[in-house]
Copies of this chain bind each other. A is one copy, B any other.
Amino acid sequence: MYSFLNDYSECAHPQILQNLVAMGTEQNVGYGMDSYCRQAADLIRQLTETSHADVHFLPGGTITNLTMISHALRPYQAVISAQTGHINTHETGAIEATGHKVIEVFSNDGKLSPELIQPVLTQHEDEHWVSPAMVYISNPTESGTVYTKKELEALSSFCHENNLYLFLDGARLAMALAIEETQVTFPVLAQLTDAFYIGGTKVGALFGEALVILNDALKKDFRFNIKQHGAMTAKGWLLGVQFKTLLENGLYTALGRHANEMMAPIRKTFVDAGYAFDADSPTNQLFPILPDELVTKISSKYKITIWKKTDDTHTAIRLVTSWATKKEDIDAFLNDLNNWI
Contacts and interface: CB of A to CB of B under 8 A. Distances in A.
Interface of A: 2-3, 5-6, 8-12, 14, 17, 20-21, 23-31, 59-67, 70-71, 74-76, 78, 89-94, 96-102, 104, 127-131, 201-202, 206-207, 221, 223-235, 238, 324, 326
B93 A76 contact: yes
Contact of A96 (B11, B90, B100, B227): B100
Given A60-B232, A76-B92, A94-B228, 5 more contacts: A11-B20, A59-B207, A61-B234, A63-B229, A96-B99
Chain copies in the assembled complex: 4
Contacts of A63: 63, 229-231
Contacts of A76: 92-93, 97, 221, 224-225, 227-228
26 contacts: A5-B29, A9-B27, A9-B30, A10-B25, A10-B28, A12-B20, A25-B324, A59-B230, A59-B233, A60-B232, A62-B227, A65-B230, A75-B98, A76-B227, A92-B128, A93-B100, A93-B130, A94-B227, A94-B230, A97-B229, A98-B99, A101-B102, A130-B228, A201-B235, A206-B235, A206-B238
Contacts of A64: 230
A62 B234 CA distance: 10
A228 B97 contact: yes
A4 to B, nearest CB: 10
A14 B27 CA distance: 15
B20 A91 contact: no
A201 B236 CA distance: 11
Given A60-B230, A76-B93, A127-B224, A238 B66 contact: no
Contact of A10 (B26, B99, B127): B26
A20 B221 CA distance: 35
Nearest to A24: B11
Most buried by B among A6, A65, A326: A6
